[in-house]
Amino acid sequence: MKKILWILLGVFSAVLIAGCYTVIVHPRVEDTDGSSYRTRYCSDCHASADFYYWHWPYYDRWYWSYPHWRSYYCYPWWWNDYWYWKGDTSGPTWQEPRYFEERMRPATPVLPGGSRDVGEEKKTQKTSPPGQSGADEKQKSQRPRYFDERKRPLSPNKPDTEKKQSGKEKGSEKQEKNTEEEKK
């Protein structure tokens, strides 16, 4: 019995030590600008969002290479509302099947043994629009790598400026292409 108590003491202490790495509860953050928008991006507050966001354990990277098993092993269940959110006003759509393609992973992991990117299609969607200012480029370079790759829709309460803007930019991109073709 004494030994069991020792083990229990050891486990309990180990859990206390473990708290140094695993972060379960995020400190409550008050909105500073008075708006109703509540940020959900860690990188909105943390310079290094890697610290507070999901990292890529090695075994996740391994399973990531296998599309059939990716959803099963790699996606935390609490990410579901990220992946099923449809548009700005609708709620999460749980009825949809859990295919990995429908879950827009914010980052593409570096695969062991090479730099083959699995989420190639998503990457192509995330190319920055032309005509960005130098300041924007500099700011972008300081962001975590997945900041610009993230595809999660905006909060329903937030003005949809960002999306509209990106839509305009896409439109302008198309216009530029069209003008180039006309010139040719």
Partner 1 sequence: MKAAIMFLSYVLFALIFVNLFADVSAPPTNQDLPYLDRSEIGARWAGMAGACIATVDDGSAAWLNPAGLGKIRRIELVGTLVRSNQDIDVNWFGVKSSSSVGSMRFQNISISYPFPTYRGSFVLSGSVVRTISYDQYLNRFANPNFHDIEERKAVVSAWIGAFSVEILENTFLGAELHGYSGMFKSTESYSPWSNECEKGVFAQDGDLSGYGATIGMVSSPYPLFSAGFVVRTPQRITFKGNELYTETDDGHGGCKLWEYPTRYDIDLPYSFGFGMAVTPLGFILGADMFYTDWRELECPLGTRDSRGNYLYDQTLDIRVGVEYTFPQIPIRLRGGWAYLPQALNLFDMKKDENRVSLGFGAIAASSLSFDLAWIRSSFEREIAEEGEPDKRYFEKRTTDRALFSLAYRF
Minimum CB separation from partner 1 for residue 93, in Å? 16
For partner 1, the closer of residues 98 and 174 by Cβ is 98
User: Looking at beta carbons only, is 68 or 184 nearer to partner 1?
Assistant: 68
DSSP 8-state secondary structure symbol assigned to residue 153: P
Using the minimum distance from each CB to partner 1, give the nearer residue, 40 or 126: 40
For 111-148, the DSSP string reads: PTTS---S-HHHHHHTPPPTT--HHHHHHHHHS-TTTT
Q: How far is the CB of 107 from partner 1 (least distance, A)?
A: 15
- Least distance (Å) from partner 1 to the CB of residue 64? 11
Q: Which is nearer to partner 1, 21 or 135 (CB)?
A: 21
Rounded to the nearest whole angstrom, what is the least distance from the CB of residue 20 to partner 1 in the complex? 7
| Secondary structure class of 79 (helix, strand, coil) | helix
Continuous segment of H or E residues that includes residue 6? helix 2-18
Residues 3, 5: Cα–Cα separation, whole Å: 5
CB of 153 to partner 1, least distance (A): 20
Q: Which is nearer to partner 1, 37 or 66 (CB)?
A: 66
In whole angstroms, give the CA distance from residue 144 to residue 106: 11
Q: What are the residues facing 92 on neighbouring strands?
A: 85
C-alpha closest to that of 125 among 167, 96, 93, 158: 167
Give residues in contact with partner 1 (CB under 8 A): 3-4, 6-8, 10-11, 13-15, 17-18, 20-24, 26, 42, 51-55, 57-62, 65-66, 68-78, 97-100, 111-113
